[in-house]
Structure 1
Amino acid sequence: MSRIVLFENINPSAQEVFAAAGYTDIQTYPAALTGQSLFDAVKGASIIGIRSRTQFDASVLAQSDCLRVLGCFCIGTNQVDLDALSLAGVPVFNAPFSNTRSVAELVLAEAILLLRRIPEKNARVHEGYWDKSAEGAYEARGKTLGIIGYGNIGSQVGTLAELLGMRVLFHDVESKLPLSNAQVCPDLQRMLAEADVVTLHVPGGTATDNIINAAALAAMKKGAILINASRGSVVDIDALHAALASGHLAGAALDVFPVEPKGVNEPLQSPLRGLSNVILTPHIGGSTQESQANIGREVAEKLVSFAKYGATKGAVNFPEISYAASSTQVRLLHVHKNMPGAVSALNKRLADLGLNIVSQQLQTQGELGYVLIDIDRLPDEATLESIRSDPATIRCDLL
């Protein structure tokens, strides 16, 4: 039976999925581990689950002597060396959709609070002032929301914003079908100039580094609000501070930062701290009980589907093969170099070893090929080693 190790206090919903599938050997850790402690913890585990703080690089992989599959119980996979795991024949799964609603609700809540100047009003009351002025306070209804990145989260933000009576524009580098009454805006500069609230929902990486820089901030409508709940690297923080200090922007809300504290007692280092028109939250956009439970279930179900059937639908680094029930009692999972003749050589080797192929599913991606093979009888270890010895074979496991 597979041994499962879960780090960083993954929601109990994941264990419920594993238990329902018959997996009982589950070791949990309340936080991320590093160094030798992490090396010791991963030994003997065939299924490993992490969140965003566990750095799973080649050195950790080298110590993961039984690893078959890795689950990231979060959206991002920046903490994982995907190339190293691919070359080791280990698929990686994440949860790209499960916290969509939570992030969307936070973004809209922050937009309303900043439009009404609530952070500033709240602070003034705590300080002993009773400022009832309506100056600078606005309704969301009738305002224009500009969304940069119209994916799963961005599109849901737009749909919910329309229910508040907002006009929705969006800009995306890929062609996206508008939902409800949202309007595509190919010209980012025009959208920035029209939007009362701009919200970012883009991936990290060099293509999006500091896309909101001094020039983009200058192009924004005077008195507008900026919200970033995507990646910390997409906003130039010093330029944002300058835009807020000058009064060009009326407010901002950030849930992500270029450099984030590593623990609860470590303060955020940012020039935005202390500004009354800025909401700063500790990367909690997806941190609701509902989203964490959804993430636990979604990733655990993907891990179980791979462990039991070899399905890789939704893997971020691997050829995708959907679930299919085995047509026999024996299934081989074969990962190989994506090169001419690799599969035909494998099939010939199986035939030479006296194994009959009952059914076969093949998919490739980049340098990898992945094939599920249902065969008519259980091969012995010598037969498996013969298959693994082929130069094109990266990994061959038996279900």
Structure 2
Amino acid sequence: MSLTNPKVRRAALAFIFVTAVLDIVAMGIIIPVLPQLIEGFVGSNARAGVINGVFVALWAGMQFICSPIIGSLSDRFGRRPVILISCAGLALDYVLMALAPNLWWLAAGRIIAGITSSSFTTIYAYMADITEPAKRARAYGLIGAAFSGGFVLGPVLGGFLGDFDPRLPFWVAGGLSGVAFFYGLFILPESLPVEKRMAFSWRRANPVGSLILLKRHAELSGLAVVNFLLYFAHHVFSAVFVLYAAWRYGWGPKEVGLLLALVGVLDMLVQGVAVGPLVKRFGDRGVMVFGLLGGTVGIALMGWAPTGLIFILAMLPNALWGLAMPTLQSLMTRRVGEDEQGQLQGANMSVASIAGVMSPLFFGWIYSISVGEGALATRLWLASALDAAPAQMLALVTRVMTQPGLAFYLAAVTLFLAALVGWVVGRKADRDDAAVARLDPVQNP
């Protein structure tokens, strides 16, 4: 099958869209129940925050190691086999977690999931293969919308299934990943022609060596910093959100699932509808920075929200965060050749994975010292450590360290820093793109 055929091209786009939805539905199904399953094993909400952070870090650590390898393998052997193997691996992994009798089994499942879900780099590379550079922001927005659509269905389904049995969502997730595998086996064409493939090299494929690509241009390195900060902030949700919602607002799996569905709907609207027109009017840089600032406001409001209703309303400005990722991806993909798109996505995922290792451990620890019995222990420790400090200073430090929404406040600060870096670095990227467009107006309409 040739992607020059319009029908085949549409089928390929449909597959990528459907696969992204199925994969994210499968991942989203377990979100409302996994932290509570961990809490059931350890018997403490605060301690579950730490353990859940460790599990997310394990997942991200495997992505850090495997994403550049998988990206480079897709540059060498094509995108199709990598995507299919990943779908099959995810299906088997969810079955393993469904059967997990203890935390060690769950940890093994998180490690395998980190390896197999590294194929998201290949999905982005596939889209780069079949999309003109000037249209990639919209294409990545559609992929983001597919992910958001998966998060609409997944957490709702997981929340309702979890009310019957906390392990049932894992079985359903495995079935959905299996469907994605068989769907791709019969539908997906290859997007990378043999003549455009690159020989596999461990120098490029190892997680450190893959980052060399990001040093090629100063603005590419700067955009990688934005990528790191964005993912670092985002993991506050995977590390503590479910436990925080249960502790502060009394929400169970069903309520958390419905709220995550709302997040998905808003994100789908932002990425699937708003990205294209806004980029056409304001450019990638302006839209990216605006999205990061919107996320800053929204996530800060979530940390402050004294009631569940205010927390839900904070989702509105937070949804603007969805403008940042597709525009950031678009800016970065225009800075490498067509034969390096897989390597770039692998390097991007390595950066995201470094954030994914550090961030959940950090936010899990912050959560554990700022709520419940953890906050009480923090107060006692501060009183002992700062016994010679002025009373007002002790009261201020104690108040800050035991804010229930402290993790969200720190995530908001991280996003604001990402917006500042993105604005500065993006100016250079905009000037470079304008210069290229003047030199080659046919390739850059």
TM-score when normalising by structure 2:
0.22
Which structure has greater helix proportion?
2
Of structures 1 and 2, the one scoring higher in RCO (CA 8 A, sep 6+) is 2
Normalized per residue, which structure has more strand? 1
